[in-house]
Amino acid sequence: MTVAIEQGTPLARSTTIGTGGPATAFARPTSVAELEEALAWAFERELSIVTVGLGSNMLAADDGVDALVLRLEGDLATVELDGEVLRAGGGAANAVCLHRARAAGLGGLEFACAIPGTAGGGVRMNAGAYGSDWSRILERALVVSPEGSGWLTAAELGLSYRRSALRADQVVARVEYRLAPRPIEEIKADVADLVARRKATQPTNKRTFGSVFKNPDAELGAGRMLEACGLKGFRIGGAVISPRHANFIENVDGATTADCVALMVESRRRARDRYGVELEHEVALVGLTLD
């Protein structure tokens, strides 16, 4: 094999919340060929696949994860422009993609300044913020699985609110965004405004995994609903529901994944009891469930 397979890599090092036990296997493929090789290796051993990205939007079991965990690097994290099309590796940071687009005077990615993840992760969950999401800018994505590789359009990916039709063993290796010319100063102004709004309402300088729950089809969003339930500042172990925004959990003192899960279970219980709403988690649970 040309791609190295690590054993027992602690996932706490690879997640923004800073929790999670060891992965059975961990690989950092740098090309489509290495990614295909890693997926074939896992398929032969009947190991499930987890792609970690930058480690946001992920909560991994304290006891570890019996899976091959992937972090796309090298050629799979590059960004380049071709006219009004921005091509990014699945592991490319959204911040880098936005920077390249802005420098070229291409608009459409401004909303991604609020999403601390990667191009591939954005496709997988149809990430969005401030009224836009991946489905609005995605032209197509190269998806690699044990069965092979192929380009899929946004429609073929089944993008809907914070979800796609991708299976766990289908990995987004490359992404193509269709952007539109826009004055650089307008892009900068919009991004500055969105960043300021985010800092004013979210715990951007704390260890979190991002939004906990998807917004329900109800009058109140998840954060407002949980705030009304009196959950701001509610703490279990080393984890606390953010005093700034109730749809975030902060690691304030050596939190464990179990602490975070306990907060999520209590949040769902209170929302169910008070509003009759069953909140659906937005964070990806790896090696665990809420029930």
Give residues with Cβ within 8 angstroms of 48, minimum separation 6.
Answer: 42, 66, 67, 68, 168, 169
Q: Which helix (H) or strand (E) holds 250?
A: strand 249-251
Looking at the DSSP bridge assignments, the partners of residue 153 are: 140
In terms of Cα–Cα distance, which of 191, 49, 59, 204 is closest to 132? 191
Residue corresponding to tokens 């992404």 = 175
Q: From the DSSP assignment, how many helices (H) and strands (E) are in the chain?
A: 6, 19
Which tokens in the block code for residue 282?
A: 């937005």
As a whole number of angstroms, the distance between CA 227 and CA 247 comes to 8
Considering the candidates 162, 178, 207, 235, report the single residue annotated as catalytic. 162
What's the number of CA atoms in the CB half-sphere (13 Å) around residue 138? Answer: 33
Cβ-based neighbour number of residue 239 at 10 Å: 27
**Phi, psi values for residue 157, rounded to 5°:** -80, -10
Considering the candidates 135, 211, 242, 267, report the single residue annotated as catalytic. 211
* Phi-psi sector, 161: left (phi>0), alpha (psi -120 to 50), beta: beta
Pairing type for strands 148-153 and 132-133 reads unpaired
Specify whether 71 is catalytic.
no
Give residues with Cβ within 8 angstroms of 80, minimum separation 6.
Answer: 86, 87, 88, 100
Q: Which helix (H) or strand (E) holds 175?
A: strand 171-178
Specify whether 211 is catalytic.
yes
Question: Where in the sequence numbering do the catalytic residues fall?
Answer: 162, 211, 282
